[in-house]
Structure 1
């Protein structure tokens, strides 16, 4: 072999070694130290889930936390480091009425995804689809169902059973290029960490999805772990800016903990007829708000209201409060803002404005109210100004549970 051929052989050997090294590196994928920027690799696995279609925006936020905490807790033990949690797009939510239903909306429309990544490795579904050479095939779809009898022998046990009786009632967020290799029906109850038992039966699966992700329960609700995850759920900066501009312009406040207004989450629509015993009548709402102000913040005469009430109900409450001497404000998006922010963004702006008020009054057992209370806990408001509710005109008024922050 002459010198030229030897030289070519050395070069070829070097190229092969380099390619193998790059392939091995890409096979595992990697993240930078902050966890914000992850490079997908073929060795990564993707954990996907969806939620019962009728469930609302704020319950879905809580389901995200259950999956995020499950993955975070496992990774802290040095296990399953190659899993990424796929963020399910927002699509066809029942309460969204503006027509923002025609295409799936990514999480970055509403949340700071880089902040989410500081807690757990997440990735938008569209990014997963874009990185897939062929149409996305989910290796195994687990359709979770509740047991008919949750309390076997009078005791609630964490358990699951594979069955053959189920039907997937989702629609893969409007994507027509997602298919499933195998669907598995599972009766499930208990903590979400037991899902790993199902996943471990098929260790070669790369794409695993759970339908009805709302069925598994939190691992550690209300603990420091819960609050660490919750604090990472920062909102899209554009939504924050819009909310703070509104607070400055209409509510005369430019500090984090405002002293100039009281905020109310006044849930109507379905609550007015399905939970009438837990909420005030339209006629009684203004009187109750007036009494709450007099009892707690008598110097405040400005009220911000976040509500799903009809236009007629809103006008009636506004007039009633004005007659009592209050300035009343609602965040009403322009058509341009609604097109830009969608229903979810408008809801978040409402929540941000409520979160910064001197005093907050919510609606009993509403997840919208729960999320505002959490924001106020993160901001550091006294609990006495946060865990308050509108009561029915007559009868019992159970005090709201206080889930205070744990540092």
Structure 2
């Protein structure tokens, strides 16, 4: 038995090409009806936050939508187009979620819709309300209490949103120049997905058809690592195109496939069951954080797709070694928990030369 060694430094040299057009997804009409459910929740994240943190924020907002729907509010989550991320080399904008994730799988957790579909559905009418989340100016105080209050806007809120000559509010809105909002407010908040649900219901924003939450990273997970966290995470299956590219690379260069590696997945994540018998391909995946995207500029994929392909390959390795406090490594560890690897093969990290016994990553195990 031998091991091939694959060192992924935030980029993979792949020659395959996929269709990267911006065609948007459609909501599963067998489960959700956009025509009947007219409430939409939009959100955005601070520009400086990276790709893998934004994936985490999606889970927080998706769980807010879950809680709203459980309380009788028929919300659909509008997916914020990807682009102009701080650490991406190519500043592409308006990239749809279908380029990265399986929209049918996302819809099995909460109903979602691409932003362009939302614009079509609402005929690009102004968004009813933008709520700009911010921390409390005075800080947490002596203890952390879940709360929210409408407050004066702190910097940089008014540099991000300004009223135009008609009184409508203009903002970044994912690079779409003709999108406007009717109302804009700043809310200081400390809390989680449930706190945001309460803000929307108690403040009567649920009477509006379209509400946008900006600075969505301000809220936390309601119960980090619980079954709802993992349900949202498990629903984030990668797009079939990226999965096939990753599988082709495994077969061609790593002598790896799902059947031999015991990494086969059921098509519907809701039918997954707990297991720890995944073997992985005969190679070691290592995420060694040095700098982003060291390869040539003629890639056939956008930067986010490259990141996912790298993560997919590491997630299917016999063993994985990550970087300390890296959301890139953390997403791989989650993927490996979902696939069903033994704990010891996943939660490992690179140590400095002078500290060979450095603290290993926390073991956030999957919950069903």
The interval holding the TM-score normalised by the smaller chain is: 0.7 to 0.9
Note if contact 2:205-2:211 (Cα within 8 Å) is conserved in structure 1. Answer: no
The corresponding residue for 1:27 is: none
Deviation at 1:85, TM superposition (A): 0.5
CA deviation profile, 1:360-388 (whole Å, cap 9, x unmatched): 00011111001000000011111111000
Structure 1: give runs of 5+ residues left out of the alignment: 1-29, 270-307, 312-331
Evaluate the alpha carbon distance shift between residue 259 and residue 345 of structure 1 in structure 2; reply closer, same or farther with a 3 A threshold: closer
Taking structure 1 as the reference length, the TM-score comes to 0.71
Structure 1 segments (4+ residues) deviating >6 Å: none
Structure 2 residue 72 is matched with structure 1 residue 79: yes
Deviation at 1:221, TM superposition (A): 1.2
Out of 95, 106, 129, the residue aligned to residue 116 of structure 1 is 106
Q: CA–CA distance in 1 between the matches of 2:182 and 2:311?
A: 41
The corresponding residue for 1:165 is: 153
The corresponding residue for 1:188 is: 189
Note if contact 1:56-1:93 (Cα within 8 Å) is conserved in structure 2. Answer: yes
Higher-Rg structure is 1
The corresponding residue for 2:358 is: 397
Deviation at 1:40, TM superposition (A): 2.1
Q: CA–CA distance in 2 between the matches of 1:176 and 1:190?
A: 32
More contact order relative to length (CA 8 Å, sep ≥ 6): 2
Q: CA–CA distance in 1 between the matches of 2:205 and 2:361?
A: 43
Q: CA–CA distance in 1 between the matches of 2:46 and 2:328?
A: 17
Deviation at 1:43, TM superposition (A): 5.2
CA deviation profile, 1:89-108 (whole Å, cap 9, x unmatched): 002011111x251x300100
The corresponding residue for 2:217 is: 214
The corresponding residue for 1:15 is: none
Taking structure 2 as the reference length, the TM-score comes to 0.79
Note if contact 1:150-1:156 (Cα within 8 Å) is conserved in structure 2. Answer: no
Out of 18, 39, 43, the residue aligned to residue 45 of structure 1 is 39
Structure 2: give runs of 5+ residues left out of the alignment: 1-26, 161-170, 264-278
The corresponding residue for 2:305 is: 345
Matches for 1:123-162 after TM superposition, within 5 Å: 123-133=113-123, 135-152=124-141, 154-162=142-150
Kindly indicate which of the two structures has a greater share of residues assigned to helix.
1
Deviation at 1:220, TM superposition (A): 1.8
The corresponding residue for 2:332 is: 372
